[in-house]
Chain A
């Protein structure tokens, strides 16, 4: 047997070594991939070149200088309605988008949970009502809804000086909805520092209580304890917060530090971090491919991954080193941030953390409008807000319902069998499992909601898209503005999906 095998293999050896290139699967695999890459890259290159030519032919400048120049823009609302630069205008738009997204997510979740639970209610009328709510709202396009709400709001009676606030609390007119405002006052930052200290204290207290509970087996009310700790600190903070003014000094120091660091140090720091992560990744990769006997087995995909990571890191380092703009941007924004924080803490003494004001009506020119003291939802804001909240609530409700129904009946029966009460089984058995099912689609809905706020352009709410469109209509810089849009939304999407993934991973570990 041995000899015959040898014979066979010796005849084999002569023919086997040469595999023609066009028949080698590994060669085919990589040639196909590189060909695709070449087609993609060259068509992008071609289109970009075409765009460059066309832009030049039409004398359109694509620089980002408009960010620094004063625009001629009035925004309908935001932290700054007459921004000094184009960049500032876009910043206001981003803040408006984020504000809408955050408020929308909170309210849509709240409303959606209520509707979803109503859909599961054993009251026939409530169940049906929730069903109608869901089916109607999710089957009418969000844009149509928004425009309709806008049309309804703007058709309301006009506001005038003598149509004074109803009891000074709440007012609705064609200029929107105005209500009392609670706002952050000068002492807020010192106060929130105190609360932060309280949170840390509560964390330790909770840990200690839990340890005691584990040891003695008695319920030590850990949650209540920590809650009361935070409350105590919050109340004390109202009186003692001025003493935290010194934190401003720390921020001032940090700002000076950032002002004096040379960009080269940042460059080196960034490069070192990149090199560290790249080498660590490659080292781990090798370790995962080396067998106990020390044999290293790498297939073609492994080599590609190493080359990819290595080249990526190299390119990143080259960009960081050669483009000083990045380092100085980091330094500048750090400096600005700390200066801002310093200013927040500088306010002294008797300032309160919060203040509240009632709505008012003013008449600066020909037309009356709401003044700044109340919290006013402009018709645009209200239309987008009701639009995204109602629309998303329908989807959230379905997710909640599905999640709760997806928990197997056996689980509740098992909980009853081991003697848990209804509340305990809900808290310890049903909810943890339902949340695991609910969370990923909820993250998706939050993403959708954030993206849907961009429809604000149809009702004139100054979100990033609307502001961007105004800016490029004024300056003709459509390409850079669109690049900023895409970057902004990609960052938002990425952030939300990172958060959701983090929770998903954590949930999974908890499950095991």
Chain B
């Protein structure tokens, strides 16, 4: 109580969302007496003084070693820079590159709108920004002095460092209560980065002017080809942010959020299979097979579901939907188009869930609409996947590099999540056989390393498939990832499920809910909220594990960096440079994800409890 009271006047002045880096010290005190701060934090006693001196020496040595490694004339940083396209998309055809920019632009558009809808902007104290800039400037100065730069480079970098530090110093003494939106800061940073593309010809060039006296930029390297697209991307993002904040106030916010979430879920599928892959549709097949199948299932399915969502149907409905489920499984025993099998199974699950969502006419029609929507997406995707691609590239798959890493990551997360929830529900169910099957599966998967599962799937899957069925290696490996991550996510979700008290179950039962309704409306919403932090941890782990693709010889980010680029004659022995770049990319993304998740946790209020 005391603590809160003493801190409250502070909070009136400064917006509560700001977290000063060292919260134990109010900024004023630190600014007033830096010697005292040094004494308290670095030289409080003999032991600490010794530690400080030793670690300062170590830091200086390490930085110097790193710098002399990075700026060594023998380093081939151009290997990474000139191969950026290979690292990102492998051999995606150059004349179709606009597709990649379109996809990226769409995702950035979504990002902008979402940022506006979820009100991600917060206000940051300008003096705080100034402090940061001062620190960054000081760091640049330190590095410049330690690094083996040429005279000219040293002067340029010193000037940059002084400029940043100076700006920081000016901003630092700004008024206490002046704030700036974090979005403005962010777009400003990106704007600077993109501006640098116009000014500095990134690409084939060296920082060491003693070795190559002139800064060379070759046509077709990074800066030349990407400056215009990146500028457009930034413009798209900023515009969509403003658009988002405009729409936000006009429409029902929760509905907008739901729509956005759905779009986020579906758009990668469409971008991948329709935009990037550019399927070469066979109209004859489309009209003779795909559309009739779609029509058949949407009509028959709608009628069935309309009937099953009748509240008075009783057990008859259960028996019928069980029968549909059996038909769904039986389709796998006969020669049949895969699309029919999948749709029958999906229909069976819709039928089983029908009593949960039954009700008056509007509810029934809504449920049927959901069914037709699902059908549209499923049929569209299945058709697109089964159609040959016009994006012709050498090798198995039309895209590689970082793009395939992202793709497999996305598919893993989207499909492992529902599977994980199902496994967790089975593991905590009242049915002993469900528990046994699920526990065995989860513990088996968790007991063996991912690499053995990946090798198993990439080597053995062709052996387990019936004749006529075919699975590319990428698909097999993605399934392996999904199974593996589902087992881990299931354990996280189980933790959440166990945190839902018995009383909640009983209350739901006492008002007459069926098991499905209880799970869907009462138990899962509470359980998933508790499971968010461990699940985000697991998502980050999954992202890191995508690197394992390199071991089984898929042309992912790491594989290209480690094995493909060092194989080029002009870049022999550039492994370390490429790997450092790969590490940096992973580091930045994972770090950003974990920081973002911490913020989300705070906002949801999970940190309290």
In-complex A–B contact (CB below 8 Å) = yes
Which A residues contact B (CB, under 8 angstroms)?
22-23, 29, 32-34, 36-37, 39-40, 47, 50-51, 54-55, 121-126, 129, 135-136, 138-145, 147-148, 151-152, 155, 301, 304-305, 308, 451-452, 454-455, 457-458, 465, 469, 478-479, 482, 485-486, 489-490, 493-494
Query: Is there an interface contact between A32 and B431, defined as CB atoms closer than 8 Å?
Result: yes
Query: Is there an interface contact between A147 and B433, defined as CB atoms closer than 8 Å?
Result: no
* A23 neighbours in B (Cβ, 8 Å): 315
* A486 neighbours in B (Cβ, 8 Å): 444, 448, 452
Q: List 12 A-B contacts (CB under 8 A).
A: A47-B464, A51-B464, A54-B464, A125-B51, A139-B586, A140-B583, A140-B586, A140-B587, A144-B586, A304-B433, A489-B447, A494-B447
Query: Is there an interface contact between B551 and A455, defined as CB atoms closer than 8 Å?
Result: yes
* A123 neighbours in B (Cβ, 8 Å): 41-42, 44, 48, 51-52
How far does the alpha carbon of A242 sit from the alpha carbon of B69 in the complex, in Å?
Answer: 56
How far does the alpha carbon of A138 sit from the alpha carbon of B586 in the complex, in Å?
Answer: 10
Contact with A along B450-485 (1 / 0, CB 8 A): 111001100110111110000000000000000000
How far does the alpha carbon of A125 sit from the alpha carbon of B329 in the complex, in Å?
Answer: 63
B98 touches A (CB below 8 Å) = no
How far does the alpha carbon of A124 sit from the alpha carbon of B49 in the complex, in Å?
Answer: 11
* Given A490-B444, A490-B448, A493-B446, 14 more pairs with CB closer than 8 A: A54-B462, A123-B42, A124-B42, A138-B590, A139-B590, A144-B582, A147-B562, A147-B579, A308-B432, A451-B448, A454-B451, A457-B451, A469-B455, A489-B448
Report the 10 A-B pairs with minimum CB-CB distance, sorted nearest first: A124-B41, A33-B433, A139-B590, A141-B544, A493-B447, A451-B449, A454-B449, A141-B547, A143-B547, A151-B575
B558 touches A (CB below 8 Å) = yes
Q: Summarize A's interface: helix, strand, loop or mixed.
A: helix
Query: Is there an interface contact between B56 and A485, defined as CB atoms closer than 8 Å?
Result: no
Query: Is there an interface contact between B579 and A36, defined as CB atoms closer than 8 Å?
Result: no
How far does the alpha carbon of A39 sit from the alpha carbon of B319 in the complex, in Å?
Answer: 18
B548 touches A (CB below 8 Å) = yes
Contact with A along B555-598 (1 / 0, CB 8 A): 00010001000000000010110011011001100110010000
Query: Is there an interface contact between A148 and B576, defined as CB atoms closer than 8 Å?
Result: yes
B196 touches A (CB below 8 Å) = no
How far does the alpha carbon of A470 sit from the alpha carbon of B315 in the complex, in Å?
Answer: 58
How far does the alpha carbon of A457 sit from the alpha carbon of B448 in the complex, in Å?
Answer: 15
- Name the residue on B nearest A301 (C-beta): B432
Choice from A121, A152, A452, A457 contacting B576 with Cβ under 8 Å: A152
How far does the alpha carbon of A29 sit from the alpha carbon of B591 in the complex, in Å?
Answer: 46
B437 touches A (CB below 8 Å) = yes
Query: Is there an interface contact between B462 and A122, defined as CB atoms closer than 8 Å?
Result: no
A392 to chain B, nearest CB (A): 13
Query: Is there an interface contact between A33 and B434, defined as CB atoms closer than 8 Å?
Result: yes
- Name the residue on B nearest A40 (C-beta): B437
A-contacting residues, B12-56, CB 8 Å: 22, 41-42, 44, 48, 51-52, 55-56
Query: Is there an interface contact between B456 and A126, defined as CB atoms closer than 8 Å?
Result: no
* A129 neighbours in B (Cβ, 8 Å): 55, 59
- Name the residue on A nearest B22 (C-beta): A124
Q: Summarize B's interface: helix, strand, loop or mixed.
A: helix
How far does the alpha carbon of A29 sit from the alpha carbon of B434 in the complex, in Å?
Answer: 10
* B318 neighbours in A (Cβ, 8 Å): 22
How far does the alpha carbon of A142 sit from the alpha carbon of B51 in the complex, in Å?
Answer: 29
How far does the alpha carbon of A33 sit from the alpha carbon of B426 in the complex, in Å?
Answer: 11
* A147 neighbours in B (Cβ, 8 Å): 558, 562, 575, 579
* B550 neighbours in A (Cβ, 8 Å): 143, 458
A-B contact count (CB 8 A): 156
B509 touches A (CB below 8 Å) = no
Choice from A32, A126, A148, A155 contacting B51 with Cβ under 8 Å: A126
Query: Is there an interface contact between A485 and B55, defined as CB atoms closer than 8 Å?
Result: no
Given contacts A33-B431, A141-B544, contact A465 B583 (CB under 8 A): no
Count class of interface residues, chain B:
35 or more
How far does the alpha carbon of A151 sit from the alpha carbon of B579 in the complex, in Å?
Answer: 9
How far does the alpha carbon of A29 sit from the alpha carbon of B318 in the complex, in Å?
Answer: 13
B545 touches A (CB below 8 Å) = yes
- Name the residue on A nearest B578 (C-beta): A151
Query: Is there an interface contact between A125 and B434, defined as CB atoms closer than 8 Å?
Result: no
Choice from B44, B51, B463 contacting A55 with Cβ under 8 Å: B463
How far does the alpha carbon of A312 sit from the alpha carbon of B448 in the complex, in Å?
Answer: 24
Query: Is there an interface contact between A151 and B545, defined as CB atoms closer than 8 Å?
Result: no
How far does the alpha carbon of A269 sit from the alpha carbon of B460 in the complex, in Å?
Answer: 39
How far does the alpha carbon of A493 sit from the alpha carbon of B22 in the complex, in Å?
Answer: 41
How far does the alpha carbon of A54 sit from the alpha carbon of B464 in the complex, in Å?
Answer: 8
* B59 neighbours in A (Cβ, 8 Å): 125, 129
How far does the alpha carbon of A138 sit from the alpha carbon of B593 in the complex, in Å?
Answer: 13
Given contacts A454-B449, A465-B451, contact A482 B586 (CB under 8 A): no
Query: Is there an interface contact between B315 and A482, defined as CB atoms closer than 8 Å?
Result: no
How far does the alpha carbon of A424 sit from the alpha carbon of B320 in the complex, in Å?
Answer: 70
A66 to chain B, nearest CB (A): 16
Query: Is there an interface contact between B558 and A143, defined as CB atoms closer than 8 Å?
Result: yes
How far does the alpha carbon of A18 sit from the alpha carbon of B409 in the complex, in Å?
Answer: 54
B19 to chain A, nearest CB (A): 15
Choice from B48, B52, B434, B444 contacting A36 with Cβ under 8 Å: B434
Contact with A along B63-106 (1 / 0, CB 8 A): 00000000000000000000000000000000000000000000
How far does the alpha carbon of A457 sit from the alpha carbon of B550 in the complex, in Å?
Answer: 11
Query: Is there an interface contact between A36 and B433, defined as CB atoms closer than 8 Å?
Result: yes
* A47 neighbours in B (Cβ, 8 Å): 464
Query: Is there an interface contact between A465 and B582, defined as CB atoms closer than 8 Å?
Result: no
A129 to chain B, nearest CB (A): 6
* A40 neighbours in B (Cβ, 8 Å): 437
Query: Is there an interface contact between A304 and B452, defined as CB atoms closer than 8 Å?
Result: no
* B437 neighbours in A (Cβ, 8 Å): 36-37, 40
Choice from A51, A152, A305, A485 contacting B448 with Cβ under 8 Å: A485
* B44 neighbours in A (Cβ, 8 Å): 122-123
Could you say which of B48, B449, B576 has the most chain A C-beta atoms within 10 Å of its C-beta? B449
* A124 neighbours in B (Cβ, 8 Å): 22, 41-42
A137 to chain B, nearest CB (A): 10
* A37 neighbours in B (Cβ, 8 Å): 433, 437
* A51 neighbours in B (Cβ, 8 Å): 460, 463-464
* A455 neighbours in B (Cβ, 8 Å): 449, 451, 548, 551
* A121 neighbours in B (Cβ, 8 Å): 48, 51
Given contacts A469-B455, A482-B455, contact A304 B448 (CB under 8 A): no
Query: Is there an interface contact between B452 and A144, defined as CB atoms closer than 8 Å?
Result: no
Given contacts A140-B587, A144-B558, A482-B455, contact A22 B315 (CB under 8 A): yes
- Name the residue on A nearest B316 (C-beta): A22
B90 to chain A, nearest CB (A): 18
A123 to chain B, nearest CB (A): 5
- Name the residue on A nearest B546 (C-beta): A141
How far does the alpha carbon of A466 sit from the alpha carbon of B296 in the complex, in Å?
Answer: 51
* A458 neighbours in B (Cβ, 8 Å): 550-551
Given contacts A50-B465, A465-B449, contact A144 B433 (CB under 8 A): no
Query: Is there an interface contact between B51 and A22, defined as CB atoms closer than 8 Å?
Result: no
- Name the residue on B nearest A469 (C-beta): B455
A382 to chain B, nearest CB (A): 15
Choice from B433, B464, B562 contacting A50 with Cβ under 8 Å: B464
Query: Is there an interface contact between B55 and A125, defined as CB atoms closer than 8 Å?
Result: yes
How far does the alpha carbon of A372 sit from the alpha carbon of B550 in the complex, in Å?
Answer: 33
* B573 neighbours in A (Cβ, 8 Å): 155
How far does the alpha carbon of A347 sit from the alpha carbon of B125 in the complex, in Å?
Answer: 77
How far does the alpha carbon of A358 sit from the alpha carbon of B53 in the complex, in Å?
Answer: 35
A44 to chain B, nearest CB (A): 10
* B52 neighbours in A (Cβ, 8 Å): 123, 125-126
Choice from A125, A143, A485 contacting B548 with Cβ under 8 Å: A143
* B558 neighbours in A (Cβ, 8 Å): 141, 143-144, 147
- Name the residue on B nearest A38 (C-beta): B329
How far does the alpha carbon of A304 sit from the alpha carbon of B55 in the complex, in Å?
Answer: 64
B593 to chain A, nearest CB (A): 9
A186 to chain B, nearest CB (A): 38
* B583 neighbours in A (Cβ, 8 Å): 140, 144-145, 148
How far does the alpha carbon of A155 sit from the alpha carbon of B315 in the complex, in Å?
Answer: 72
Query: Is there an interface contact between A144 and B579, defined as CB atoms closer than 8 Å?
Result: yes
